[in-house]
Amino acid sequence: METPLYQRLIAPAQTKIVMIIMDGLGGLPREAGGQTELESATKPNLDALAFQSSLGLTIPVAPGITPGSGPGHLALFGYDPIHYEIGRGALEALGVDFEMSPYDVAARGNFCTVDTAGLITDRRAGRISTAESSRLVELLQTIKVEGVEYFVRLVKEHRFAFIMRGSGLGEDLTDTDPQATGVPALPIKSRDSSSRKAAQFTNRFVSEAGKLLADKTPANSILLRGFAKLPTLPSFAEIYGLHAAAIAVNGMYRGVAKMAGMEILDVGGDTIADELSTLEKHWQEFDFFYLHIKKTDTAGESGNFDGKVKAIEEVDSYIPRVMKLNPEVVIIGGDHSSPAVMKFHSWHPVPTLLYSKNVRPDGIREFGERACLHGGLGIFPAVNLMPLVLANAGRISKYGA
Amino acid sequence: METPLYQRLIAPAQTKIVMIIMDGLGGLPREAGGQTELESATKPNLDALAFQSSLGLTIPVAPGITPGSGPGHLALFGYDPIHYEIGRGALEALGVDFEMSPYDVAARGNFCTVDTAGLITDRRAGRISTAESSRLVELLQTIKVEGVEYFVRLVKEHRFAFIMRGSGLGEDLTDTDPQATGVPALPIKSRDSSSRKAAQFTNRFVSEAGKLLADKTPANSILLRGFAKLPTLPSFAEIYGLHAAAIAVNGMYRGVAKMAGMEILDVGGDTIADELSTLEKHWQEFDFFYLHIKKTDTAGESGNFDGKVKAIEEVDSYIPRVMKLNPEVVIIGGDHSSPAVMKFHSWHPVPTLLYSKNVRPDGIREFGERACLHGGLGIFPAVNLMPLVLANAGRISKYGA
């Protein structure tokens, strides 16, 4: 992929940037003619900040596309989320909040049933219950092999995420799942020499799993498919010259931030207050802070309109503490919308606030979906946010004379 | 062309979509400070629908480009109108409302004058009158040859559209028009083997035409150029999983819809009322209905401001009947602007309304060019409309985790 112009013009500066991402921030009105979650919230600090800021709405990936948090975050961090696709196995691991490292190869796992001849009779082991699966996952987690570390994480029913961690593990592996019954599971093969070691370790795991599960009918074997590492991204240091840190509680977001080369800070708790204290504690050490708020999305996805409003109000209460640090640039946005009325992620553009001393303020006294429609940032692809952030931070030099 | 992301994420759903295209919908004020045709119209139903919808303006092809209806419609249907260019001959045929099929090869035709030695003396036969040309076109239409069907349609003055229909006809043919005088017309040659049959049938037609016209000075011969079939598009069924139907009176729009694999419904009349009845009659049979309104453009192109206002008001009166069918998604838009004051197509963005239960309503109580400027869809390329339509219809699955 060609290097974007702004990345060719990056210049150093002594400026600090705080990007606060409220997961699933965008919403919809609860009833016709009503207000969204953000519009309903009492948020004097965010509204006051809006007046000094430029507002707009981000399209996370592309019009009409409902993004997962992975691609949503890649775009916010300035990486084209269509070019940098996250593979199936890595998605499964991130989806259960496993904090993937660059040394990890992940796969999607199924418990399955095999007969005495080793032929698959049910690729989903009768869709065993999540409770039953949970016990078997614990059993698989006991498998230890010299030179590699295995992680097994429950997804639900017959599904689990399998991750192996070690040096020199390639991802170019064939599936064990033949996608058919009446045949045996396939041995894993490497498609390139750099994945040979990974193939050996995976086959070893499958064989150990077979022994442990032998008497656990119907889930007496496993299938693995979609092996993938995290995509390799150029780091924030390389492309932006930013020394960046991530403040996030959940593994998925820590994993994505790690992909971008951010340092993952120890939050020492799981509240927004803990996250704020972490920001304050490490303020001197970094140029860029990504601070992730999970509660907004959790409420949105569970259809809890009022819960999402409250989460936004809680974030609002911490804004004075953020501003007291005197950051040069503050972004308040989201990785996608999660309207409580839809109980799911959605494609709707996400309200976004960009504060700096250099923005052209819109003169709007409210931070909300419809207020942002009138803002100076317009409706724009999320991947264009970082150039604006860096420009406001004095970190992009002039192009041409 | 790479498959757009949203097409890779298409998911089935039991939802119905109605796309009402008012041809040349966008307009301009009649006098400075005045209102456009759409803004002038009394349209209580469209205004009420706007309040439950998201509004915006489409850029049909690219900024500053005045599109023909062909590319304007391709974009609305989600096909890149620059990638899928409609060849000159096909444009000529569609332009006179000839309903092209995938088996047709069309060319642009000129009546011309040749001397006794067969050398061209006037490539336009003295620009003979349309009335005179009309009689000659009728004459040419009598040419019959086994294994092929010929169609000749008057354009104006010395110009006509030539179409041949048959199986196995390629379009890769050289012109007969040498673009010069003092030389003979060229025989048609095929540039590839799949066009050989088409070359033979065309040469046969030219020779028969020469005999029929021999004594019709000045128009005693013909020239053909720009041979083209319709571009081959992936169908709505293939790319969207939509079982789609077209309700249109004019051949051009039926031809473009056929290109997209839509079923062309028999309207049984040529009024908007007939089109509405067709929609109601076939409601159970399809997922997607494209309904084309010609009157707005006809009025716009003839400079009839009030006529265009009336056409919009007539469409407005049928909106309750559309909504009574309970469609999940309704689009009201246009393929381009045709301001009555310009008496022509124009490049101006086209007001667009997207209704569904899942849109984020803008809270705007009017459907008009300037009202749409404040809408949540923004000003966007028309080719991005289908992804939004499909998202609102629950027909695009999530990207990533």
Give tens-digit pLDDT for B238-271: 999 999 999 999 888 998 999 999 999 999 999 9
In chain A, what percentage of residues exceed pLDDT 70? 100
pLDDT at B4 > cutoff 80: yes
pLDDT of residue A97: 86
Q: How many CB pairs under 8 A join A and B?
A: 96
- Please answer whether residues A39 and A369 qualify as being in contact, where contact means their C-beta atoms are separated by less than 8 angstroms: yes
Contact A65 B397 (CB under 8 A): no
Whether B106 maps to a domain, the answer reads yes
CATH code, domain carrying B62: 3.40.720.10
Contact A92 B401 (CB under 8 A): yes
Nearest-angstrom CA–CA distance, B224 and B173: 10
Question: A101-133 pLDDT, tens per residue?
Answer: 989 999 999 999 999 999 999 999 999 999 999
Whether A329 maps to a domain, the answer reads yes
How many C-beta neighbours within 10 Å does residue B118 have? 11
Nearest CA-CA distance, residue B378 and chain A, Å: 7
DSSP conformation letters of A262-278: -EE---SSSSHHHHHHH
Please tell me the number of Cα atoms within 13 Å of B52 on its side-chain side: 16
For residue B52, the chain A residue with the least C-alpha distance is A32
Q: Residue A34 — very low, low, confident or very high, per pLDDT cuts 50/70/90?
A: very high
Nearest CA-CA distance, residue B56 and chain A, Å: 11
Contact A86 B363 (CB under 8 A): no
Query: Do B211 and B148 belong together in one domain?
Result: yes
For residue B51, the chain A residue with the least C-alpha distance is A33
For residue A70, the chain B residue with the least C-alpha distance is B401
Instruction: Work out the end-to-end distance of chain A between its first and last CA atoms, rounded to an integer number of angstroms.
Output: 26
Nearest-angstrom CA–CA distance, B393 and B387: 10
Whether A133 maps to a domain, the answer reads yes
Contact A67 B399 (CB under 8 A): yes
Whether A335 maps to a domain, the answer reads yes
**Final residue before a domain boundary, out of B199, B228, B257:** B228
**Chain B interface residues facing chain A, Cβ-Cβ under 8 Å?**
4-6, 9, 51-52, 358, 360-363, 374-376, 378, 380, 384, 386-392, 396-401
**Final residue before a domain boundary, out of A188, A211, A228:** A228
Query: Do B176 and B149 belong together in one domain?
Result: yes
Q: Residue B362 — very low, low, confident or very high, per pLDDT cuts 50/70/90?
A: very high
For residue B362, the chain A residue with the least C-alpha distance is A370
Contact B398 A67 (CB under 8 A): yes
Whether A399 maps to a domain, the answer reads no
Nearest-angstrom CA–CA distance, B323 and A350: 29
Question: B155-187 pLDDT, tens per residue?
Answer: 989 999 999 999 999 999 999 999 999 999 999
Nearest CA-CA distance, residue B389 and chain A, Å: 8
Chain A residues whose CB is inside 8 A of the B391 CB are 63-66, 346-347
Query: Do B237 and B352 belong together in one domain?
Result: yes
**Final residue before a domain boundary, out of B178, B206, B228:** B228
Whether A400 maps to a domain, the answer reads no
Contact A65 B396 (CB under 8 A): yes
pLDDT of residue B118: 94
Query: Do B209 and B222 belong together in one domain?
Result: yes
Chain B residues whose CB is inside 8 A of the A30 CB are none
Containing B379, the helix (H) or strand (E) segment is strand B378-381
Report the relative pairing of strands B378-381 and B350-356 from DSSP bridges: unpaired
pLDDT of residue B42: 98
Query: Do A95 and A211 belong together in one domain?
Result: yes
Whether B185 maps to a domain, the answer reads yes
How many C-beta neighbours within 10 Å does residue A42 have? 11
Nearest-angstrom CA–CA distance, A240 and A294: 26
- Coil, strand or helix at A51: helix
DSSP conformation letters of B32-56: TT---HHHHS--HHHHHHHHTEEEE
Question: A150-186 pLDDT, tens per residue?
Answer: 999 999 899 999 999 999 999 999 999 999 999 999 9
Parent domain of B373: 5-85+233-392
pLDDT of residue B33: 93
Closest to A61 (Cβ–Cβ): which among B362, B389, B399? Answer: B399
pLDDT at B297 > cutoff 80: yes
Chain B residues whose CB is inside 8 A of the A378 CB are 378
What phi and psi values does residue A153 have, to the nearest 5 degrees?
-130, 130
Whether B205 maps to a domain, the answer reads yes
Query: Do A38 and A139 belong together in one domain?
Result: no
Contact B384 A68 (CB under 8 A): no
Chain A residues whose CB is inside 8 A of the B357 CB are none
Query: Do B99 and B241 belong together in one domain?
Result: no
Measure Cα distances from B184 to A13, B122, B208 in Å. 73, 11, 16
For residue B361, the chain A residue with the least C-alpha distance is A33
Query: Do A132 and A22 belong together in one domain?
Result: no
In chain B, what percentage of residues exceed pLDDT 70? 100
Query: Do A338 and A318 belong together in one domain?
Result: yes
Q: Average the pLDDT over A347-351 and give the result.
A: 98
Query: Do B252 and B387 belong together in one domain?
Result: yes
* AA identity, residue A286: F
What phi and psi values does residue A38 have, to the nearest 5 degrees?
-65, -40
pLDDT of residue B97: 87
Query: Do B220 and B237 belong together in one domain?
Result: no
pLDDT at B401 > cutoff 80: no
pLDDT at A383 > cutoff 90: yes
Structure tokens at B225: 């150029």
CATH code, domain carrying B94: 3.30.70
Length of chain A: 401
Query: Do B81 and B95 belong together in one domain?
Result: no
Count of domains observed in chain B:
2
Query: Most B CBs within 10 Å: which of A35, A37, A65, as the mutation test of the B interface?
Result: A65
For residue A347, the chain B residue with the least C-alpha distance is B391
